[in-house]
Structure 1
Amino acid sequence: MKYDDLAKDFIDEMHNLGQMKANRKINSTFAGERFIMQLLTMKKEDITPGDISNEMNISTARVAAILNSLESKGYIRREVNQVDRRKIIVKLTDKGEKYAKKIINTIVSDVAGLLSKLGQEDATELIRLTRKISSIMEEKEVKINA
């Protein structure tokens, strides 16, 4: 099997996906304000700006700018950690929780619509393959960082 040819086809299809408006909408949820809102909703433990920086693989300065924007909109608040007063904890406000739930519900609805077009069997296979690719890439990353 010619994996180089398959790789080119895969790259072309990924590029085509990236050009579609629907995909840009989904991608925007994995970046910036929306990602942070989701992260704060899903993680149950305290989250610091440094944690967000590591999770998103962006600079702490960029995280600070995003947090300032979210704070000005009333979606988050920053609190001093009572155990370690040097640390700042980021928390959703009630308004932020409502907005984050709306974001998550929209994403789930959009993705469910896409998966339903694939059908049960193909949707399940897509998830299986995505997990496998993620696992392979994670192993590769561990080797690179070792």
Structure 2
Amino acid sequence: MNKLMTEFESVLEMVHSIDIRSTFGVDISKSELILMRVICCVAKSVGDSVLVSDIVGKMKVSAQAISKCLRSLEKKGYIERYSNKVDRRRMEVVVTEKGMQAYSQIIKKNDEVLLVVLEEFGEKELEHYIYLTQKLSELYRRVMSDMK
């Protein structure tokens, strides 16, 4: 079991070590990409701007971590933040043209990579992978919940 655990951890490390900055040629970290995805998804449903409180509500991350990531994206010119016109204590976020171009570039290239990867697998392998990944996710959640 110890050898399997080591191999399993090694595989997880390989997946987590993929550097999207060099792979996709943009200056966005994984956490920033996830945040951009949430902003873009929420913006589609409520309009161009998104309340920071809505972002915090969608992600299971602290407001401080979201704020730090937003500052980084703002410095890079991918988003703009401003006070809500009705309630100045509330902050809104909008993705800039530069941010949308970078996000679209990543999504497009990711789709291309994913298509090639998926073509290498057969249908049965993909179904089995999906089953195992779902099972692993459920087990992790259950074990973590039991440990609280």
Using structure 2 for the length normalisation, give the TM-score: 0.67
Match of 2:19 in 1: 25
Specify the alignment match of 1:48 in structure 2.
52
Check conservation: 2:84, 2:92, Cα contact below 8 A: yes
What residue number does 1:9 align with? Answer: 4
| RMSD over equivalenced CA pairs, Å | 3.5
Query: Is 1:92 matched up with 2:87?
Result: no
The answer as to 2:40 corresponding to 1:36 is no
CA distance in 2, matches of 1:132, 1:16: 17
Which consecutive residues of structure 2, in runs of 5 or more, have no partner in the other structure? none
String of CA shifts for 1:100-145, please: whole Å, max 9, x gaps: 1211222232233222212221112212221222223233344445
Unaligned runs of 5+ in 1: none
Aligned length in residues: 138
Aligned AA (2:52)? T
Please state whether the residue corresponding to 1:77 is helix, strand or coil. strand
CA–CA distance in 2 between the matches of 1:87 and 1:18?
Answer: 38
- Distance in 1, Cα, partners of 2:116 & 2:17: 13
Does the 8 Å contact 1:38/1:104 carry over to 2? no
Q: What SS class does the counterpart of residue 18 from structure 2 fall into? A: helix
Letter of the structure 2 residue corresponding to residue 108 of structure 1? D
Give me the TM-score of the superposition, normalised by structure 1. 0.68
Q: Retained in 2: the 8 A contact 1:75–1:93?
A: yes
How many Å separate the matches in 2 of 1:93 and 1:72? Answer: 12
Classify the secondary structure of the residue corresponding to 1:24. Answer: coil
The aligned counterpart of 2:105 is 102
